[in-house]
Amino acid sequence: MANSIGWIGLGRMGEAMVKRLLKAGYGVSVWNRTVAKATPLLEYGATLAPNKQALATCDVVFTMVSTTDDLKEVLFGADGLVMGNAKPQVVVDSSSISQSGSTEIRARLESMGVAYLCSPVSGNAKVAKAGKLLIVSSGPKALYDMAQPYLQTMARKVMWVGEGELARIWKIAHNTMFGVVIQNLCEITVLAEKAGIPRHVFLESINDSVLGSMYTRYKTPVLSNLTFENVTFTPKLLLKDLDLGLSTAKAYGVAMPAAAATRESVSRLVGRGYDDIDFSVLLVETAKDAGLELKPESIKISDGLEV
């Protein structure tokens, strides 16, 4: 197998991305806090690392975890990746974390002689499985050029947006829009259905209009059939990202009233106990507020993703 890749973090996204690397012929060693999430990858050719430090001899180590604190823990905590005698040459992080946290992590890694590339992604696990992610990177251009073949294996397009933590700003802006769009999509869908337009018919019309996108298309089956148990992103994670968006907007002096209203709506979802469920369950709560009880339409709809 060509080249040795280490991978930390095997949630829905991480698992799908590792499979793309393995299918392309790369050798990948994996570590995950919950070992059971790592073992299914063995049948695809992955190697299970006994601990995080065992990955330090890989050519490049990718990390994809939930929060800034999680990333600090896997890098610098007890038995952290860079806390042993051996150090990886490169860490490529695809987590959604704060700009300030990423700056701190970069400084600490570079002081140890470890290069650091930010490479957050756009897409969910099904998009990743189909190889249709967008990956946006920032950091030293030469480092991006080195990592680009790996990134391209997992994506339909990769981009470099500049030095430092600019990719973090991109991801924060992206996920803020992510929330605002689902909020508005749920609102107008409820409006249309309460007026008498079947839900799937209205969503199909949006998909075929100038407003349609990959996002509206892959959410259409979920919103039509109310299959929120097929989780792509939880309300709690979306709330975290909206908070990052608003705090970043405050730091740069940018007013974001639509994002602020969406943040409160998503916060209500979290407060009502919506946990391991897709964030698009927001549709149900929006309908309740309008005095509308939704029922699954139970029809077959393509989300436009080939997997």
CB 167 within 8 A of CB 38: no
Which pLDDT score, from 0 to 100, does residue 306 have? 52
Give the mean pLDDT of 63-71. 94
Look at residue 1 and tell me whether its pLDDT is greater than 60.
no
Question: What confidence tier does 299 reach under pLDDT thresholds 50, 70, 90?
Answer: confident
Give percent of the chain with pLDDT exceeding 70: 98
Give the mean pLDDT of 222-248. 94
Give the mean pLDDT of 230-238. 92
Which pLDDT score, from 0 to 100, does residue 70 have? 95
Which pLDDT score, from 0 to 100, does residue 303 have? 76
pTM: 0.89
Give the mean pLDDT of 172-185. 96
Which tens digit of pLDDT belongs to each residue from 112-170? 999 999 999 999 888 999 999 999 999 999 999 999 999 999 999 999 999 999 999 99
Which pLDDT score, from 0 to 100, does residue 307 have? 45
Question: What confidence tier does 284 reach under pLDDT thresholds 50, 70, 90?
Answer: very high
Quick check: helix, strand or coil at residue 17? helix
DSSP, residue by residue, 179-219: HHHHHHHHHHHHHHHHHT--HHHHHHHHHTSTT--HHHHHH
**How far apart, in whole angstroms, are the C-alpha atoms of residue 198 and residue 195?**
9
